[in-house]
Amino acid sequence: MKAVLVSDTIILLLALIMAVASSLMLPVACGRFLRLGGIESEPSAVPVLVAQQYKVAIVDHAEKIPSGEVPSEFVEIASQRYQVTLPWAGHRLTARVSEVQPLLVSLPRSVIDGDGSIYVTKATHRAFLEMSVMAVADGVPLLVDSGYRSVAYQKKIFEQRMVAAGDFQSISRWVAPPGYSEHMLGTAIDLSPSNWTFGGTKVEQWMEKNAFRFGFNQSYPRHSPHGFTWEPWHWRFVGDS
């Protein structure tokens, strides 16, 4: 009798897991390439676990790292090795280019600020365009000025800034070191203008109020417990998690 009860419970749990998994298809599909902190997701085997890992992928989710316990993490830029400092240390993201890039599609010109092409994952693309239609209807068009950026591209940004002026540590106060930028996941966008003048604009207010309905979160909120600088223009698609 006991065994029957246990197996019934397992069947019920499995049914529940399948229901939850199917309702989380977007984050599951989008999160399948995420590898964080050395943990690789296994999407086809256990979709619910992947969805949970996807939530963990939100940079501001983990506990604050106590001072004096900075993980030893390094990045290499122009053949030099630099230690990654807080708030980035402990938040390295890893996503395989070979798995992210096939998911990328370009955003239409109508939502891009400037002439270049901007790529995001298919799921991000779909959700963003739905959100954009709603924003336009409210008289607040959303313009994107950055999307997917590879680790190599992020390295170039650092190299250029280090040549122009400044050292690694001071630049990394404002710019994510290569391997720490959510833009490498293809799920992050920067809205225009991607600088301090964005705060307090109608677009910012609209996003604060509505973005969550389309699965977008602010990755670096005003009061980040990790000490990340507030980036009101930076949003990340996290699905309906």
d(CA 231, CA 42): 31
| Count of residues near Zn ion by CB under 5 A | 2
Task: Determine which residue in the list 234, 235, 236, 241 makes contact with Zn ion, applying CB under 5 A.
Answer: 234
In degrees rounded to 5, what are phi and psi of residue 214?
-105, 10
Looking at residue 147, the DSSP 8-state letter turns out to be -
In terms of Cα–Cα distance, which of 124, 49, 114, 62 is closest to 93? 62
123: its two tokens? 């799921």
Interface with Zn ion, residue 190, by CB under 5 A: yes
- Give the CB-side neighbour count of residue 32, counting CA atoms within 13 A: 21
For the CB of residue 232, give the shortest distance to Zn ion in the complex, in Å: 11
CA 175 to chain centroid, in Å, comes to: 15
CB within 8 A of 146, min separation 6: which ones? Answer: 118, 183, 189, 190, 194
d(CA 150, CA 181): 9
- State which residue has the least CB distance to Zn ion: 234
For the CB of residue 147, give the shortest distance to Zn ion in the complex, in Å: 9
Sheet hosting strand 34-36, strand order edge to edge: 39-40, 34-36, 93-95
User: Which of 33, 190 has the CB closer to Zn ion?
Assistant: 190
CA 53 to chain centroid, in Å, comes to: 13
For the CB of residue 233, give the shortest distance to Zn ion in the complex, in Å: 7
Stretch in the footprint of Zn ion (CB under 5 A) among 49-57, 90-98, 155-163, 226-234: 226-234
Contact (Cβ atoms closer than 8 angstroms) between residue 194 and residue 146: yes
Stretch in the footprint of Zn ion (CB under 5 A) among 1-9, 97-105, 133-141, 230-238: 230-238
77: its two tokens? 């830029």
For the CB of residue 154, give the shortest distance to Zn ion in the complex, in Å: 11
Stretch in the footprint of Zn ion (CB under 5 A) among 68-76, 125-133, 148-156, 233-241: 233-241
Stretch in the footprint of Zn ion (CB under 5 A) among 24-32, 70-78, 188-196, 207-215: 188-196
User: Which of 206, 233 has the CB closer to Zn ion?
Assistant: 233
User: Which of 34, 190 has the CB closer to Zn ion?
Assistant: 190
Interface with Zn ion, residue 216, by CB under 5 A: no
Interface with Zn ion, residue 236, by CB under 5 A: no
User: Which of 87, 190 has the CB closer to Zn ion?
Assistant: 190
User: Given the rule CB under 5 A, which residues bind Zn ion?
Assistant: 190, 234
